[in-house]
Each structure stands twice: as C-alpha cells, then as structure tokens.
Structure 1
Amino acid sequence: MVDFLREIGTAFSASMKVDDLLNIVMHTAKRATDAGAGAIYLVQKTENETSREMKAYIVDGLFPPLVKIKSNTETKWTSKQKYIHDIIKSYPIKAGEGILGKVLEDGRPRLVECNADDNEDLIPQYKSEFLKVNSIMAVPLKVKSKVLGVMAVVNKRYKSPFRPQDLSLLESLAEQAAVAISNIQLSLELAARKQLEWEIRLTEDLQALLLPKELPKIHGFDLAALSKPVRTLGGDYYDIVKLDYERYGLIIADVSGKGVPGAITIAIFRSLFRNYAIKYQSPAKVLIEINNWLYGEMKEDMFITALYAILYPKENKIIWSRAGHEPILYYSNQDRAVHSFSGMGLMMGMTFGKDFDPYIEENEIEINTGDVVALYTDGVIEVQNDAGSEFGRTQLSNVLRSNTTKKSQQIIKAITNSIIKFSADESFQDDLTLLVLKKE
C-alpha cells in the first residue's frame, strides 16, 4: 500500500502514462484484496451523457466478460487467456448494463456473492469452470460526483468470500487512483489544446499562402469563390491563374487528408499546378504531369481529386479535364437547364501511366451570355441534415438554376444559405469550396 501511494504521487506530476498507472492500480488491488483477477474500465467520451459507456483498458488474470457473449462462440474464445482479454476489451459496457454498468450508472460500490444461477442478470455465468464468478467487488473510479470508470476484482483465492473490509480497501484504492487518473487526463487535454493552438497558428499562415488573395478581373465574365474549411485548415484548394493574354486557368481540388498533412500536400499540389499550367496548354496534360509526380510520393491512404478548366474569354469557351472530382455544373441560359458533365478521370496519386493517362479526357463547353459554370467539392453536396439525408447534387442544381440572374458572389451566398437551412447548422462535416463563373 505504501508503494502504491508513492507511485500514485508520481502520477500527480503528470509524468506517468495512464496505462502505466492503471497497471499499478490493478496489481495493487489484486494483491491487497487477494483477488484472482481484475479489470479496470474507463468511460468513453461521448456528446450524449445519457448514453454513457465504458471499455476495459486493463484486464489482469482470468477475468470473465461481464456482459453476455453469444454462447456458441464460448469454446473458441476461452481457449486462450489472450482471447478472453481481447473479447472483454472489444465489448463496451453501457450504463445500467450488468453489475459494472450499474456501478457506472449510480456511482455506488457492489459486493456480490454468486450462487448457481443467482444474479444472472448482473453477472453472466459461463460453462468454463475457470470463468465462473464466485464473488465480485466493483467500485467506481470517482472524482467528486463524476464517475471516470469502474474497477472490479473477482474470486478471492481459496474460494473465500470477499469481506466488507475488502470492499472498503478497494474503495480507498479507487478514490486515490481516480484523482491520479483525472490529473493525467487533464494534463493530456491541456497538452492537446496547446498542440491544437500551435497547429491553428501554423495553418492560418499556410492557408493565407495557398488560396488566391484576390481573383483576377476577366472581361465579360463575373467570377467568385468561397472556401470554408471544417477545421482551421482544410483539404480543399482552388486557384485562378492568368496563363497568358488569352487564357485563364481555373482549378479546384480536394485532398483526402486534413490539417497539417493535407495542407502540405495542397502546397505541393499548388506548386506543381502553377508550374505545369504555364508549361502545357492541355488541361489533361497538366493533370497527368501532376499525377506522375504525386504517384509514389503521397502516403498510401491519401489521394487528390481535381478538376482543371481553361477559360478562353475571347472565344467564349472552356476546355476542361477531370481527375476523379465532382462533375462540373453548367447552367445554359438558352434552355434554362442545369447540366452535369462528368467526363472520365481517376483520382490522383493512386496509379499512373497506362492505368491513369487514358482516363483523363478533355471536354469543351461553349459559354454564352447568362450561362453559369459551377465547380465545387464533395463537401457541398454531402452536407447532411438531422435525418441523415444529403444535400445532394440535384438540390445544388436547383439552387443554382433559381439564382442565375444574380452575380456570382450572390449565387454562392444563395447556395451556402440553402445548405445552412438544410442542415440547420453552420458547422459542416467536411470542407466546403465553391467556384462560380458567369458570362455577362
């Protein structure tokens, strides 16, 4: 007990990891109560306090699963102690479920002696003799009125029953352990906040470098753009570059990663785009060359989608290519309809050469007075409402068609207002980026 108090003191300095502390607590609890096995569960963070649940972090000895497991699997998972521990750690326990859930629910300790089928609702019984529970103690890990988790021990050695003195001792250990656990968790949360603040400062500076500070004025056309990241720095990117006196390059892209990794990838993508856009006149060739560089350089779980269009203002046309990105939306003032043009194209960074190049095709759109072209990322159409329904491309097309008499900036505002009204929330699950071009 003295050793335990000394080690608990170390935890108050926040120099100990939670797992190390829990191992010390569990070892001390078993030794002090002469228990055969034990486990410590910690509450999982959820937004809904009424549906709290906890998962096992430490399991020591032949501790049985204290939630009901399908009986036809018992023979398999009881063949090794490791399997039992894996089962216990994979099954969360909800507040009110079984004896441990009851302790989580009301914060009161339990000492239960088990006889045959008694207490089956609280304590499941198994066919395997070594998993039978003869007696159990479960106490809350509680700081003031807040329950952080539950510690339980089972089966006092020599099949002796646990006594009230054992329960008092376990409660005392739990009280001290809970304060230490809370201290470590608070320290980790503080460190995480500091890390986030650093990331925010870094990404704000990086964000300012990635997106255009202002859009070019293009004679005969009205242009507007919006990028709203779900975090301070998202994975969306757009750019408008004056290629020469007769052409402008418009690109929109979406990186699968967010935060600093996504920002670094976007920075590389931007550099490649600006280099190849000046070098090659073909939008397909630009995307192919960017992909050739990206392939093998990106992490396996990351990719980029992009749509690159070259505007010829004097010829009133756009030539564009797509690499796995959302289809381009085109409103024709002549037939008063919104058309969705996909074209072929694969995501960038996943493959190259003959498996990529032939699928990047070029398409052309003629733009007449009153026509509108909209480029967007998937965050626009995948916004969900409370029912889980998505905003969708059809609804985006309807909003676009209803606002084509307005300026491009007002069209974007109408779209974002519709999305906010649809989702009843101004915070979104994914980055949201729009680029609208209108022929005046």
Structure 2
Amino acid sequence: MTALPAREPASENNAFERKNSRQETPVSTLKELVANLRREQNKVQNLLSSLGFALRSFNNLNQFLEIIPLMATRVSDSDGSALLLYKGEGKISLEQVHCQGGLACQEVRQGIAKVTRELGKKNTSQAEEIVALDALLEKALPTDIRLFGTPILAKGKERGRLYVFTRDRAYEWTLSRQKLVQLVADQVAVAIANNDLAVEVRQKEKLDRELEVATDIQFHLLPRKYPKIQGLDLAAACRTANRVGGDYYDFIPANYDQPQSKTETDETIGSSQPWSIVIGDVMGKGVPAGLIMTMTRGMLRAEVLNHHSPAKILEHLNHVMYDDLESSHRFVTLFYSQYDPKTRRLSYSNAAHNPPLWWQASTNTVQRLDTLGMLVGLDTDSKYEEATAQLDRGDTVLYYTDGFTDAVNVKGQRFEEENLIQCFQKAAAQQYTPEAIVKHLFDQVQAFIGDQKRSIDDMTLVVIQVC
C-alpha cells in the first residue's frame, strides 16, 4: 500500500520527458527547413551573381548565351533548359540546350530542331510563330517530358523564349521558379540589347569612316585652287549642310585635254583660252547627292572635250545622265557658262538653276543671267537655250545655289533673292574683291539665320570679276 504513492513522481517525470520530446521534434525540423531554405537562397543568389558577372565580363554574345540554359536549370531545379531566339523572316534558332539528372538531351534537341525547321518552312509572322511554338514543342517532345517557358523581351519586343523541362511528375511550376527563370530571361534580353547597340555603334563607325572617305574625295574633286584666267579675278566657296553635299562648281579650261608644256602648271594652263565656269545643285543632300554630283562632274568634263556650245553641252549631258537620274529619282540644276578672256564675252545656258547675278560697274545695276531650260534628268529630249553677256572692266558675276536664298531665320523667314541682290550690289559697288564678296555674303546669311544656327542646305558661291 505504501508503494503506490512512490510511483507518482516517476509517472510525472515520464510524462514531462514525452512532452519535451514532442516539442523538440518540430523545432529541429523547422531549423532544418530554415537551413535548407538559406542554402537554397544562397545557391540562387550565387547563380544570379555569377550570371550578372558574366553579363558584365563577356564581350561576345554567344559566350554569354552558352551558360544560360545551365543557369535556368539550376535556379528552377528542373532537369534541363533550352534557349530559342527569333531571327526574323520566319526563322527560329535553337541556341543552347542543357540537360541533367539523366534526361537524354539528344531527343530533346532533335524534337526542338524539328519544330524550328517546320516553322522556318512556313510563311508566318513572328506573332504567329510565338503562338504556335509552345504547342508544337509539347507535341514534338516525349510525352513524359513537361515543358515550361518564359519570353525574352528586349526593347518591348519578344526576341525569343527560355524553356525549362522535367520528367518529374511532382514538379511544380511555382511562382518563385517562374520569377527566377524570368530573371535569367531578363539578363538574356539585356545581353541582346547590348549586342544590338554594339552592332549599331560598329555600323555607325563604319559609316563615319565611309563618310570621311566620301568627304575627302568630294573635297579633292572641287577646285582647291583658283585657275589663272587672263583679265579675270575669281573666288569660290562651298559649305555643305552635311559632311557630304550635292552642290557642285568647277572651272574647266577649253584645252585641258591637251598635253601641258613644260612651263605650264594646273593654275596657268590655257589662261588666255576660253574657260568653262559651272555651278550646279543635286536635289537632296548627303551621300546620294554627293555621288550624283561626282557623276555630274565627270560627265560634264567629258562633254567639254567636244568643244560644243553651252546649250549643246547641256543637251548632251541631260541625254547621257537621264537614265541614271531617273532610276535614282533625283534631278540636277546646272548653270553652264564659257568665258572668253580675249573678248570678255560670257556665253551661257541654264538648266533650271538659280540665275547668276551680273553687276555692271558702269551703271551700278544688277541683271539676272537666265535662259529657258529644264532640269537635267527630267526629260530625255529637253532642249536648252543659249545667251551671251558682254562683260566690261569692273563687272562682277555672282553664281550661287539655292542654299542662300532658301536660308531660314528663327522667325521662319527666308533670305530670298532680293536680299542677296542688295548685299551683292552693295559689296560690288564698294569695289570688294571676289574673295571679300564671298566672305561678305556668307557672313550676311549667317547673321540672318542666327550665329548659332547651321544652314539646313548646302551653300555655294562663285564670283568672277573682270579686271
């Protein structure tokens, strides 16, 4: 009877131990779960950190893309991953595939390659390809493989898809896994955008080099030195709106095709012989206009060799250039003149160019030198008229392109021909030299449009003065 109470403390101790044991089990389990989560979090952070480092370090896009499926597989705990990119024109490219956990990569690769070939044969838009891609891949892959994909968006445009796949039927495409794979896809998008930008920069650098060459060629095609023409003082300048322009001027001696004597130079050849003075403007600006300007120069110089009259030269030039100008949808305005130092006569013909201005020293008046004629390249059968001006000592002739008269100020007003005539007449009446007249007119137009503003069109001046 006395032994019974002695068991009660033992019973209480056992109960306490059982209760304590039940409390320790969930705590240890929770600790293990937290530890696993931390390890998983560290793994994911390390993977994403490695991906970011690769994005900063790799200069080659293909090198970076090689590691993408591996990263996507690791962060999503899947059996493998595949990266597909859209190449445009109905083409989808399988860039990389990675498999692990015993999944056979060969059958996955073959299934994806089959789908990309099928889509490449169809004349479908990229939007249709995107819709069809997931469904076609699911049919092409083995039935026990589950596929999950996420888009690769660069500059608001889908450039490809990143897939993960698994044979694990218990695998869940959780929100966390979706976000991690999307992070990897976003890194791919950044790499693609950076590569696009690098390609654009290289293309721009290439274009800049080509423009430098074109600018240099054009600079050397325009007269670098003024020829010595008996009884004539002259000056010229050309300012292009872009690095390459469509304005053209030239001084061509009547006998430049003849062999030079030992005492003749490029500046003195045929100084007492007739000279051709020409100015032109190709419709448009930039490299295309510069190319046509170069073509015009070569063909005109070839025509001068025939020693025809100004009207005939323009007629022949128009006939020869018509096909090329029509196919390029461009035209050329051209004023062609021939000056005879012995007679001081200026014969000319105009192909719809701005008429040069002739200031007569004896009367202090300005006349326009013009004849009827169509644009070069407008009609293959165009005819051109011809006229002659008898210059006298002190007379000055101004050739110009429409970049001067079309110059616009901040109020939207154009410089117009009237202002040009006034500025020219004032400078000529004050006995400015051709060089001074050229500088004065450029300064006047610049002041009109604004000191900090650049002309939107090429501007060219040629001034000849009888002395």
Q: CA deviation at 1:426?
A: 5.8
Equivalent residue letter for 2:211: E
Partner of 2:240: 229
Q: CA deviation at 1:332?
A: 2.2
Equivalent residue letter for 1:381: T
Partner of 2:370: 342
State which of 314, 330, 347 in structure 2 corresponds to 1:319.
347
Give 1:262-273 correspondences, 5 Å limit. 262-273=289-300
Q: CA deviation at 1:257?
A: 4.9
State which of 270, 280, 283 in structure 1 corresponds to 2:307.
280
State which of 446, 449, 452 in structure 2 corresponds to 1:420.
446
What's the TM-score, normalizing by structure 1?
A: 0.60
What is the root-mean-square deviation of aligned Cα atoms in Å?
A: 4.1
Q: Secondary structure at the match of 1:198?
A: helix
Q: 1:169, 1:426 → 2: CA distance?
A: 52
Partner of 1:307: 335
Q: 1:238, 1:314 → 2: CA distance?
A: 23
Q: 2:201, 2:295 → 1: CA distance?
A: 32
Identity over aligned pairs, percent? 25
What's the TM-score, normalizing by structure 2?
A: 0.56
Equivalent residue letter for 2:201: E
What runs of 5+ residues in structure 2 fail to find an aligned partner? 1-50, 66-84, 93-124, 129-152, 159-174, 256-271
Q: 2:63, 2:355 → 1: CA distance?
A: 52
Q: 2:417, 2:323 → 1: CA distance?
A: 33
Give 1:6-45 correspondences, 5 Å limit. 12-13=61-62, 20=87
Partner of 1:118: none
Give 1:181-260 correspondences, 5 Å limit. 181-200=193-212, 202-243=213-254, 245-260=272-287
Q: CA deviation at 1:327?
A: 1.4
Q: 2:449, 2:214 → 1: CA distance?
A: 27
Partner of 1:369: 393
Higher mean displacement: 267-276 or 428-437: 267-276
Q: 2:412, 2:464 → 1: CA distance?
A: 31
Q: 2:320, 2:64 → 1: CA distance?
A: 44
Q: CA deviation at 1:294?
A: 0.7
Could you report, residue by residue, the CA deviation over 1:130-155 in whole angstroms, capped at 9, with x for unpaired residues? xxxxxxxxxx97xxxxxx6699xxxx
Q: 2:180, 2:351 → 1: CA distance?
A: 66
- CA gap of 1:221–1:177, structure 2 versus 1, over 3 A, is same
1:352 equivalent to 2:380? Answer yes
Does the aligned pair in 1 maintain the 2:358–2:396 contact within 8 Å?
A: yes
Q: 1:192, 1:419 → 2: CA distance?
A: 32
Could you report, residue by residue, the CA deviation over 1:300-319 in whole angstroms, capped at 9, with x for unpaired residues? 41221100011122322211
Q: 1:421, 1:14 → 2: CA distance?
A: 56
Could you report, residue by residue, the CA deviation over 1:86-119 in whole angstroms, capped at 9, with x for unpaired residues? xxxxxxxxxxxxxxxxxxxxxxxxxxxxxxxxxx
Q: CA deviation at 1:181?
A: 2.0
Partner of 1:397: 421
Q: Secondary structure at the match of 1:318?
A: strand
Q: Which structure is larger by alpha-carbon Rg, 1 or 2?
A: 2
Partner of 1:125: none
- CA gap of 1:14–1:222, structure 2 versus 1, over 3 A, is farther
Q: 2:409, 2:378 → 1: CA distance?
A: 32
What runs of 5+ residues in structure 1 fail to find an aligned partner? 26-57, 62-139, 142-147, 152-162
- CA gap of 1:15–1:190, structure 2 versus 1, over 3 A, is farther
